[in-house]
Amino acid sequence: MKGRPTLFENSELVNKAQGLFWEKGYTATSLSDLLAATGIGSGSFYNTFKGGKKEIFRAAILQRRTAFEDFKKELERSESPLELIKDFFRSIAKSERADHLRGCIIANTVVEMTYVDEELEAEAIRILKDVEQMFVAAIEKEKDSGGLLNPMPAKVLGKYLLTFWCGLNTLRRMYPEQKILAEQIEMQLAVIG
């Protein structure tokens, strides 16, 4: 008889759960869905994630923060951070259809958790506000170096990029075609300069 494992690599479990949450959302994902996706039993699941579904979901969205932090470090080292941001947005048009349909798990969480779970909503909002501040810092750096002549304040342009990001995550679900997305992305990036 197979014994019940007691220790799991949490990041592996979170990755598996994250994919499920990304596709179904928090509310539509059941415990049985999570157990099937992670391949562990309910006892092991609750031993690993004492807070249950909410804890693993929080871990999944916080894991996305790590990707954001890596990009932020890259921007801080860059001589031309605005070009990195533009390249990031341009790369979205080239994504696979499945990626377009998933959108952004953080933006999805803000929308889904409004009126459902204030803590999870607040966590996702904090992450998006950090992304906004990352954009602001990159724009300020670009303005200081003379690489950006747009007269709008960096804070306004940072919010614009965040608005663009959130809107793009809806648009890419509606029009998951590379040509359409590339045109829209270029038009939006032209506003920045």
How many domains in the chain?
Answer: 1
Q: Does the residue 137 lie in any domain?
A: yes
Please state the pTM of the whole predicted model: 0.89
Domain ranges, residue 141: 64-192
The token pair at 129 is 């506000």
Q: Does the residue 12 lie in any domain?
A: no
Give CA torsion, residues 24, 28, 31, 36, to 10 deg.
Answer: -30
Say which amino acid occupies 130.
D
pLDDT of residue 60: 94
Distance between CA 24 and CA 22 in Å, rounded? 6
Residue position matching structure tokens 């990159």: 138
Instruction: Please state, as a whole number, how many other Cβ atoms lie within 10 Å of the Cβ of residue 89.
Output: 20
144 burial class (0-12, 13-18, 19+ CB within 10 angstroms)? exposed
Contact by Cβ (8 Å): 37, 1: no
Q: Does the residue 51 lie in any domain?
A: no
Contact by Cβ (8 Å): 138, 79: no
Read off the CATH number of the domain in which 79 is found.
Answer: 1.10.357.10
pLDDT of residue 156: 97
Q: Does the residue 167 lie in any domain?
A: yes
pLDDT of residue 9: 61
Q: Does the residue 14 lie in any domain?
A: no
To which H or E segment does residue 166 belong?
Answer: helix 154-174
pLDDT of residue 80: 93
pLDDT (tens digit, 0 to 9) for every residue of the chain, 193 residues total?
344 443 446 888 999 999 999 999 999 999 999 999 999 999 999 999 999 999 999 999 999 888 889 999 999 999 999 999 999 999 999 999 989 999 899 999 999 999 999 999 999 999 999 999 999 999 999 999 999 999 999 999 999 999 999 999 999 999 999 999 999 999 999 999 8
Q: Does the residue 47 lie in any domain?
A: no
pLDDT of residue 10: 84
| Averaged confidence pLDDT in the chain | 92
Q: Does the residue 4 lie in any domain?
A: no
DSSP SS3 for 142: helix
pLDDT of residue 3: 42
Q: Does the residue 120 lie in any domain?
A: yes
The pLDDT tens digits of the residues spanning 96-149 come to 998 999 989 999 999 999 999 999 999 999 999 999 999 999 999 999 999 999
